[in-house]
Amino acid sequence: RVAAVQASYELMDRDATIDRVAELTADAAAQGAQVVVFPEVFIPGTPFWIDTQPIWDGDAEWFRLLADNAVAVPGPATDRLGAIAREHGVWLAIGASEREPSAGTVYNAVLYFSPDGTLVDRHRKLVPTGSERTVWGMGDGSTLRVVEAPFGRMGGLICWENYMPLARFHLYAQGVDLWLAPTLAVGDAWVASMQHLARENRMFVVGVNPRSGQVFVVCGN
């Protein structure tokens, strides 16, 4: 059983948002979920200002908040998230603004935790789209991996990365069974795209965003 979690976060407040993750994961696990998937950059929330004002006009304080509340890997935040996964015995996949402890670049990432609380993998968005490049750095192909689980292989891409056919094929070639597509996108065209991926590779696709009305699991069989 898979839980695609659609919920609000505490914007630019990492610790309060992880408190929300704990509550929501507990609720999902109580309903029998074995895999719990959160939306794109759920921690510490969407940097909405990149599309609402010129980046040179007053965004410095917002970016400071983003950098200060990004998830350092490894660090106390990943320890807490691992403990949440371990407490409830679930696979936890969560979108986060992520950075290395000793570096300043922030990445749009998905973190994968196993039921024993181990951070088993992370994927950084390869090409932030448009204004996203003002806050997130570019990932690379080294994070295009699948995660082995008892029920199959998990993997996937973030938001519009899903329109990159060579990235998709690289994961298809690794035998991915459960495709995770955390996103901020909405609309019928996005749902149709996820249905196409499910049929293209004959796999299950979990689509999840923080907005109302569009979380889903589709099967390509």
125 is catalytic: yes
Nearest to 147 by CA among 80, 98, 92, 84: 92
User: 180 with 156: CB under 8 angstroms?
Assistant: yes
219 is catalytic: no
Catalytic residue among 98, 125, 132, 161: 125
Burial class for 7, CB neighbours closer than 10 Å (0-12, 13-18, 19+):
middle
CA 105/CA 36 separation, integer angstroms: 27
Catalytic residue among 98, 132, 159, 161: 159
Helix, strand or coil for residue 58? Answer: coil
Catalytic residue among 40, 98, 132, 161: 40
159 is catalytic: yes
The set of catalytic residues is: 40, 125, 159
